[in-house]
Amino acid sequence: MEFKTERLTIRPFTSNDLLDVFTIYNNDDTCRYLLHGKWTIESMHEEFNKKLKNRELTKETSLSLAVVNNTNVIGDLSVWYTSMKETVEIGYCFSNKASGKGFATEALSGLVKTLFDIYNVHRIQANLDARNKSSQKLCERIGMRKEAHFIQDFWNKNEWTDSMVYGMLRSDLDLRNQHNVCT
């Protein structure tokens, strides 16, 4: 899968992306709400190779995509099928340098449209750490709705954390597009 938005190219990772991706994940603040800790010099090749292998979305494989602005990778999008029919989960992470410029909203809006149009998925969901307010706002900006807030349901990095589930159906995207045309 590869597509473009107004300012971005979203495509599978290439070996040339290693240092940009390392810069994203070699940051405690960025990784605070992720399932893994920050990347180190020792772990970066192993972690990055996982992203390189995830080049195609199938029922058995996940997809990892680079979000590129000009020539720099500024973000990472992940998509995988859940056990529920025609349902995918999305994950995302962006460089601190890209923060506040609308890149995440632009990339994720393009991703959900592509998933509905090309992959004909029924439902897109995102599971996130409830403390991650930026991620909550991002989900809401692209038209996802908060569907659940679980209290201390997830053990991560030696602590119990709350999690939230956001979801979206194609009809949500269609309604959002109709609303944007009318306003």
Q: How far apart are the C-alpha atoms of 148 and 70, rounded to whole Å?
A: 37
In CATH, what number is assigned to the domain containing residue 165? 3.40.630.30
123-129/87-94 β-pairing: parallel
Tokens 């070699």 belong to residue: 26
Secondary structure (3-state) at 98: helix
Is the pLDDT confidence value at 181 over 60?
no
Amino acid 179: pLDDT:
57
Mean pLDDT computed over 130-152: 96
Please give the tally of structural domains in the chain: 1
Mean pLDDT computed over 103-121: 97
For CA atoms 58, 52, 64, 160, give the dihedral sign: positive
Is the pLDDT confidence value at 174 over 90?
no
Q: Which of 25, 82, 107, 13 is nearest to 51 (CA)?
A: 13
Amino acid 120: pLDDT:
94
Helix (H) or strand (E) holding 174: helix 170-182
Tokens 């938005």 belong to residue: 5
Amino acid 28: pLDDT:
82
Please measure the distance between the N-terminal and C-terminal CA atoms of the chain and give it in whole angstroms.
Answer: 32
Q: Which position has the higher pLDDT, 178 or 29?
A: 29
Is the pLDDT confidence value at 183 over 80?
no
Structural domain for 115, as ranges: 3-182
Q: Are 134 and 127 a contacting pair, CB within 8 Å?
A: no
Is the pLDDT confidence value at 13 over 90?
yes
Q: How confident is the model at residue 143 (pLDDT cuts 50, 70, 90)?
A: very high
Helix (H) or strand (E) holding 155: strand 145-156
Amino acid 178: pLDDT:
61
Amino acid 177: pLDDT:
66
Q: What is the pLDDT of residues 23-58, one digit of tens each?
A: 999 988 887 878 788 899 999 999 999 999 999 999
Amino acid 176: pLDDT:
67
Q: How confident is the model at residue 173 (pLDDT cuts 50, 70, 90)?
A: confident
CA distances to 16, 67, 84, 111, 176 from 12, rounded to whole Å, are 11, 9, 25, 13, 28
- The share of the chain scoring above pLDDT 70, in percent, equals 95
Give me the helices (H) in 26-163, please: 28-31, 44-53, 103-117, 133-141
120: left (phi over 0), alpha (psi -120 to 50) or beta: left
Mean pLDDT computed over 117-132: 96
pTM, two decimal places: 0.91
